Amino acid sequence: NAGVMQNPRHLVRRRGQEARLRCSPMKGHSHVYWYRQLPEEGLKFMVYLQKENIIDESGMPKERFSAEFPKEGPSILRIQQVVRGDSAAYFCASSRRLAGGDEQYFGPGTRLTVT
Amino acid sequence: SQELEQSPQSLIVQEGKNLTINCTSSKTLYGLYWYKQKYGEGLIFLMMLQKGGEEKSHEKITAKLDEKKQQSSLHITASQPSHAGIYLCGADRSQGGKLIFGQGTELSVKP
């Protein structure tokens, strides 16, 4: 049973380009969460999605960031016009149902470097 | 101030010694999660605790949640070099799905 898959594992973008990060949840999981780990900072929640729905985006920056989890295919975290401050490790997690009652498993992360 | 405080921030122990890492919240938690992270890698799920007074064990690692559901401890018995890494506690405070995390405890085990 494959775990949470993320790709790419490493992504380099120049300032102003777009970054697309993909996450495939564990089999049987329909809840996806995105977190960001900035250098010298802790792991911070960004957004929580179910299939075709954004449930909680309270941690998402207001501009340039968007997320989706379509009916078919992986969840996508999209960062437009990247800046150096977006350089971080982005982690995706998945669970079967609400994290209040179920285990949340993390992927290996995508390390974004903005040059 | 951190919403979830972990202590200590770092820990160096001799192989074979026991150790404890603490995680404290100012508010009651719906769920408390423990993860281990190797530098540059993802988070490995260790345990989830939900009930006050709950205790779970896996191999040489034991986690407890206090009765008030505001404090948890992670105890490693007879530590080994393979236990080295960063231990993170995460908390669900609203049953809404999002976890908040402590700043982590970096554990080194000297052979």
**A106, A112, A113: which to substitute to probe chain B, counting the most B Cβ within 10 Å?**
A106
Give the residue, B39 or B79, on which the prediction is more confident.
B79
Is the Cβ pair A106, B96 closer than 8 Å?
no
DSSP β-ladder status, B71-76 and B61-65: antiparallel
Task: Provide the pLDDT for residue A98.
Answer: 59
Q: Which of B28, B39, B43 to mutate to test the interface with A (most CBs of A within 10 A)?
A: B43
Residue of B nearest to A59 (CA): B98
C-alpha span between B70 and B45 (Å, rounded): 20
Q: Any CB–CB contact under 8 A between B50 and chain A?
A: yes
pLDDT at A39: 78
- If one compares B58 and B97, the residue with the highest pLDDT of the two is B58
Task: Give the DSSP letter string of A44-112.
Answer: EEEEEEETTEEEE-TTS-SSSEEEE--SSS-EEEEE-S--GGG-EEEEEEEESS-TTSS--EE---EEE
Sheet with A5-7, edge to edge strand ranges: A5-7, A19-24, A75-79, A65-68
Q: What is the pLDDT of residue A32?
A: 95
Provide the pairing of β-strand B10-14 with B105-110: parallel
Please give the mean pLDDT across all residues of chain B: 92
Q: What is the pLDDT of residues A39-49, one digit of tens each?
A: 778 899 999 99
Place of tokens 């285990």: A103
Contact B101/A43, CB-based, under 8 Å?
yes
User: Quick one: pLDDT at residue B30?
Assistant: 85
Q: What is the mean pLDDT of residues A90-109?
A: 85
| pLDDT for the residue numbered B81 | 95
Tokens of A53: 């729905």
pLDDT surpassing 60 at residue A56: yes
pLDDT, tens digit, 9 for 90 and up, residues B29-62: 888 999 999 988 899 999 999 989 999 999 999 9
Looking at residue A40, what is its pLDDT? 79
Contact B73, B89 (CB under 8 A): no
Number of Cβ within a 10 Å radius of residue A12? 13
Residue A7 has pLDDT above 60, yes or no: yes
